[in-house]
Structure 1
């Protein structure tokens, strides 16, 4: 059994919908051999990363940067997992009120330092809220879990 860890900051009803969508996609009934663990960034830590086979990160855009909660997660886990989790497949979604560029750049920089590998291009959900954001994040969760389930990741 593989484990997918979802670490997503969800401070509002809409961002909670996104986190739930990621989990729903990852738990698709056709995916049989993937355990899904969902934690807020302030509750996730090095042991969670060590125990997973892939990670899906979710964050809001806060002043052109990732959420403080996700930054805190990286601050606490970076060095403890640096050597043993190189190559960890990862994905990212950003709920960006503006363009999300600074947020993406910041997370990509940390992921590069960790030597994790992108399972797919980061997803940036820009501008005013749209209901199709939920579908996009659900699809992201599904594809990441399906990659683990099939042995591609």
Structure 2
């Protein structure tokens, strides 16, 4: 069975809703052969990354950058997984109060250095909260899991 790892920082009720939406999508009843593991960034580490077949990252925009928790995850994992995870399919959702550009650029730089491959372009949910954000993240989680199950990721 293939494993999808969801590493999402969710410090607020709305970001928790997004993390839950990603998990809900990944666990869609039509997707059967995927193990979904959801972890906060401060608990996830190199062994979790090496054990997965794809990774979905989630972060709020904090001062124009990714959350400190997601940065900590990368700091602890980067060199430990650098040679083992090249080509790992990944995706990202950003809950941005502004435009999310700095956050996106920062994560893209790290992903490029790791040699991971984007399953799709990062999803930036910017501006005032919209309930539609949940559906978008749920669809992203479902697409990641379905693509992994179908062998296209």
Q: Same fold (TM over 0.5)?
A: yes
The equivalences for 1:74-113 within 5 A come to 74-113=74-113
**How many angstroms does 1:64 deviate by?**
0.3
- 2:117 equivalent in structure 1: 117
Query: CA offsets per residue over residues 70-114 of structure 1, 9 Å max, x none?
Result: 000000000000001000000000000000000000000000000
Runs of 4 or more, structure 1, over 6 Å off, are none
**How many angstroms does 1:33 deviate by?**
0.7
Q: What is the TM-score of this pair, normalised by structure 2?
A: 1.00
- 2:146 equivalent in structure 1: 146
SS in 2 for 1:66: coil
**How many angstroms does 1:24 deviate by?**
0.2
**How many angstroms does 1:4 deviate by?**
0.1
Q: Counterparts of 1:149 and 1:31 in 2: how far apart (Å)? A: 7
Q: Counterparts of 2:105 and 2:23 in 1: how far apart (Å)? A: 25
Equivalent residues, number: 153
- 1:59 equivalent in structure 2: 59
SS in 1 for 2:5: strand
Q: Counterparts of 1:112 and 1:149 in 2: how far apart (Å)? A: 24
RMSD value, Cα: 0.3
Q: Counterparts of 1:103 and 1:84 in 2: how far apart (Å)? A: 25
SS in 2 for 1:125: strand
- 1:30 equivalent in structure 2: 30
Structure 2 residue ranges without an equivalent (≥5): none
Aligned: 1:130 with 2:130: yes
